[in-house]
Amino acid sequence: MKIAYQGEPGAFSEAAARRVDSEAQLVPSKTFEEVFERVAGDPATWGVLPFENSIGGSIHRNYDLLLSHDLPIVGEVELPVVHHLLALPGATLAGLRRVYSHPQGLAQCERFLRTLSNVEIIATYDTAGSAKMVADAGQKEAAAIASARAGEVFGLVSLAASVQDFDDNITRFLVIGRKPIRDAVPDKTSIVFSLPNEPGSLFKALSVFALRGIDLTKLESRPIPGRPWEYLFYVDLGVARDEVTCARALAHLSEFAPMLRTLGTYASWKTQEGRTPDPFEVVS
């Protein structure tokens, strides 16, 4: 079993992939696009990608990629995220001049970063990748925002721990692939649809779920490329696709939504809580 994730060893995506299958062979990938390509090409069974953080919000690029690939969502993972300021042994806070991290990592630590004087904040492709950059450069005036495991992997020390703005910092990852995850029973469905630009169209769309008592756990809008000021609506429903109420709601929605697509039906993370964590799940 192989699971593709974006980033270097020590990335939070690696820890999320371990939560999917602790015995799987993990495949680091440079970009989110590469994760999709590896799953589509079948060298990897599943791909794990971040979609939402409780502080930094949604990772919009992955919503766009989900729509442009024919790979269903088969699961989700929630991962507590604890950030560290990592640097070479002997480095000091006062001596720092540059801090690297993924834009989401920087956004999640904004208040802490404002306390650093004369430091340039530089966005990179990955949190763990930033740690690797600092280690490879061998410069004590540089640091990275990343996980404690990334520090262990690349021989860095923590100058400051738990530097995220809020303690309750959680990232939600989605698992893509054509193979279901074990015997997990679906209780959640993700869809995307478009609507005509007319008064009350969104209200009408959401009412098909409200009238049937279906919980909307997320609603996200994204621009439609090439069609200015028109939008796609991504919705997570707290019900399995095959439930009668969900099937009827989607049939109703399809009557007036020009485009409607089910992105996946899968077991929510709350139904998987209580499992014994594996050693790689420790992110503090």
Residues of the chain with CATH 3.40.190.10: 2-80+169-181, 84-161
Give residue 277's pLDDT.
44
Q: What is the pLDDT of residue 18?
A: 95
Query: Over the chain (284 residues), what is each successive 10-residue block's mean pLDDT?
Result: 94 95 94 96 95 91 93 96 97 96 94 95 94 96 97 97 93 95 90 95 97 96 91 97 97 97 94 48 38
173 catalytically annotated: yes
- Report the alpha-carbon distance of residue 183 to residue 70 in Å, rounded: 22
Q: Which candidate in 45, 171, 189, 265 is catalytic?
A: 171
Q: Which part of the chain is CATH 3.30.70.260?
A: 188-269
Q: Which CATH homologous superfamily contains domain 84-161? A: Periplasmic binding protein-like II (3.40.190.10)
Query: Which one from 173, 193, 209, 233 is the annotated catalytic residue?
Result: 173
CB distance 2 to 45 below 8 Å:
yes
Q: For domain 2-80+169-181, give the fold.
A: D-Maltodextrin-Binding Protein; domain 2 (3.40.190)
Q: Which amino acid is at 125?
A: Y
Quick one: residue 122, left, alpha or beta (phi over 0 = left, psi -120 to 50 = alpha)?
A: beta
Complete edge-to-edge strand list for the sheet that includes strand 120-123: 120-123, 98-101, 142-146, 84-87, 157-161
Query: Residue 68's closest CA among 93, 103, 44, 36?
Result: 36
- DSSP-assigned states of every residue in the chain: -EEEEESSTT-HHHHHHHHH-TTSEEEEESSHHHHHHHHHTSSSSEEEEEEEETTTEE-HHHHHHHHHS---EEEEEEEE---EEEE-TT--STT--EEEE-HHHHHHTHHHHTTSSS-EEEE-S-HHHHHHHHHHHT-TTEEEEE-HHHHHHHT-EEEEE--SS-S--EEEEEEEESS--TTPPP-EEEEEEE--SSTTHHHHHHHHHHTTT--EEEEEEEE-TTSTT-EEEEEEESS-TTSHHHHHHHHHHHTT-SEEEEEEEE--GGGGTTPPPPGGG---
Q: What CA–CA distance (Å, rounded) separates 160 from 93?
A: 9
Predicted local confidence at residue 272, as pLDDT: 64
The predicted pLDDT at position 279 comes to 36
Task: Classify strands 170-177 and 73-80 as parallel, antiparallel or unpaired.
Answer: antiparallel
The two structure tokens encoding residue 127: 């949190």
Counted residue by residue, the chain has a size of 284
Question: Which CATH number does 188-269 carry?
Answer: 3.30.70.260
Please name which of 101, 87, 178 lies closest in space to residue 141, comparing C-alpha atoms. Answer: 87
Q: Is the pTM of this model over 0.85?
A: yes
Angle between helices 201-210 and 244-254 (to 10 degrees): 160
